Chains A and B, each alone.
Chain A
Amino acid sequence: MKPRDQYLKVEDVSKTFTSRQTLGDRIARGLARKGPPPGLKAVSGVTLDLAKGQTLGLVGESGCGKSTLGRIMAGIHSPSEGSVRIDGLPVMEQGKKTTTAVQTVFQDPFASLDPRMKVGDAVAEGPILHGLVMPAMAQKYVERWFQRVGLDPSLSHRYPHQFSGGQRQRIAIARALAMQPKLLICDEPVASLDVSIQAQVINLFLELRRELELTCVFISHDLSVVRHVSDRVAVMYLGRIVELGETQSVFDRPAHPYTAALLDSVPRIAAEGEALVEFKPIEGEIPSPLNPPPGCHFAPRCPRATPECSASAPALAEVAPGRRAACHYAQQELREAAARQVA
């Protein structure tokens, strides 16, 4: 693969969260001859790469590890194993973030902006600190970014509470972009916005991405938003990537039964002449990540599961050109999806 295709390179990344142990806990476990308590494996063996200028959508339900993976890529969490490189350089070294090339936009702009700091200062803070702009020039620099995200530059002297949710999200985007990142991680950036405001922010995102040739990771539980903005999509379930490929083909012909089930659960407005859409809900709920089922984690809820699925975890393998899926029965699933599409 050409290095350009591996602008973002995530290699075998895992993250285990362990509960803090007091001295008493340790003595008690030592006396009982138990090892350290098992951790919660939030992300498990994720390998993926992304070409420059592309957007990767990361989808899954709560607790699947998509936000943790996003935070590892952003250098907020250090991975327990594996590494993340952007443009050939590591994002973290020895547990410290070593680059400003990755920036993040979070879901809740209420929480991510300091309520006592003028929004202009919030945008200027990082670039000044990292020498991207001289303090004397900061005001001009901030105003330019305000214009770029569609805000009146004269508003930069106001405080976060004086803005609406959509405007605050624009400020958060301006703050991330003012750091001139190579990679932008967006963690549910439109989830808390109203439909009409959501469309405005998505349009802004599309526009900026094209102008600035940004490489992005777009994390969302909203499949229709991800379908709209991403070139490639990764579907996660209980810490593992279960399917990875071009967005359109994954949505049209899912190779993993979980992807298919997830797509079926999304309510949509019936098309002209179509009867009211009936769902096929997935049975059961996501099991606890503290004690995931053996083998394929989705097996207990999967309509296709056989004893083999609980015995051995399928690897994320190429099932069609440019498509990887972690399912023993991916070929059957693909064939049936193709048949459904024709019908």
Chain B
Amino acid sequence: MTPETGKPVLEVENLQTEFATAKGALRAVDGVSFSLSPGEIIGLVGESGSGKSVTGFSLLGLIDAPGRIAGGSVKLNGTELVGMSPQELRKRRGKEIAMIFQDPIATLNPLLTIGQQMEMALAAHETLSRRAAAEKSAEALARVGIPSARERLKSYPHEFSGGMRQRAAIAIALLHRPAVVVADEPTTALDVSIQAQIIHEMKALARDYGVAMIWISHDLAVVSALASRILVMYAGRLVEQGPSAQVLRDPRHPYTRGLIDSLPSATVPGQMLTQIPGSMPSLGALPPGCAFAPRCSYASDACGAKPDMVQAGRRGWRCVHPLGTEHKERAAS
């Protein structure tokens, strides 16, 4: 587990992202706050529509109209990114904060070789001779486990397998050794054996270079293998956060509990799975209080008001009926 020492490299405070629609503004990210220490990996978990990806995009200022960041603050090494001019953002994007996407086919240009694309990424932030750029690119490819990297620079993306393409995308994201990397479901489209290799390598990269990482995923098991801390999102809000092991073994929010229990591995084979009834409400029709209340078996009248994030030590939850809080001493640990 990463010790949380020193100044946080990224501080997110009450982030709000909205999308303008004919029916009014929809708040896809509603008051998300967290901080990230150098070298720390945190997992941002949620189902589709929870706002986890929009949160990731917002951190890099990659929200296009009709979307906009409606409020809050994102501080990268103390510099405010919200409201920064596009030119200023461009200087930082890729250099200080980078992103890895789910689909490397969409990230890589099919008409350029991997080497050309890496050269362009290098040239965006520093001046290098072609020889030095090739040297640096080959080194970066080798570091993410691509064999005979020097020859591979001449390959086009279609000549790579899915796993190799994602490795190349990771190599590009890490070229400038950014302080923060936002990874949006980077292994979801890959086979389990390749996923295991990439997770293994990412952990080593974060450790060796002190890169802090936000790993966005719907898969609790993947996140538990990587992240020291987990943030759970539901309908645009953070509903629970804390150290991975504690959140997964002893969740406070009924939604987190429901997610863990609905995994097939949580039940004896062949038996009915524990299921969360219903589905996530659409952002246009959110219940007034806790968004999870209509699906929650613990819901009461008290859930009609928007719950605040309750903080206890390193853990936090947004629920008026938190689970397992009779063990106060464990919550505070």
Contacts and interface: CB of A to CB of B under 8 A. Distances in A.
A196 B265 contact: no
Interface of A: 61-62, 164, 166, 194-200, 202-203, 206-207, 221, 223-225, 227-229, 247-248, 261-262, 264-270, 272, 276-277, 279-282, 285-286
Contacts of A282: 193, 196-197
Given A203-B272, A269-B248, A227 B47 contact: no
Contact of A265 (B192, B273, B280): B192
Given A206-B270, A224-B263, A164 B279 contact: yes
B225 interface: yes
B191 interface: yes
B224 A196 contact: no
B199 A267 contact: yes
A62 B164 CA distance: 14
A194 B47 contact: yes
Interface string B241-266: 00001001100000000111011110
Q: Tell me what chain A mostly uses at the interface: helix, strand, loop, or mixed.
A: helix
A276 B263 contact: no
B219 interface: yes
Interface string B210-244: 00000000111110110000000000000000000
A187 B269 CA distance: 20
B196 A279 contact: yes
Interface of B: 47-48, 161-164, 191-197, 199-200, 218-222, 224-225, 245, 248-249, 258-260, 262-265, 267, 269-270, 272-276, 279-280
A200 B221 CA distance: 19
A58 to B, nearest CB: 15
Q: Which of A196, A197, A264, A268 has the most CB of B within 10 A?
A: A196
Contacts of A285: 161, 163-164, 193-194
A247 B52 CA distance: 35
B52 to A, nearest CB: 12
Contact of A228 (B164, B200, B267): B267
Given A199-B262, A203-B272, A248-B269, A269 B220 contact: yes
Nearest to A63: B191
B225 A279 contact: yes
5 contacts: A166-B279, A197-B47, A267-B219, A279-B196, A279-B199
Nearest to B147: A284
A194 B192 CA distance: 18
B281 to A, nearest CB: 11
Given A206-B270, A276-B245, A281-B200, A267 B224 contact: yes
B226 to A, nearest CB: 8
Nearest 8 interchain pairs by C-beta: A199-B262, A265-B196, A228-B264, A194-B47, A61-B191, A281-B196, A281-B197, A196-B276
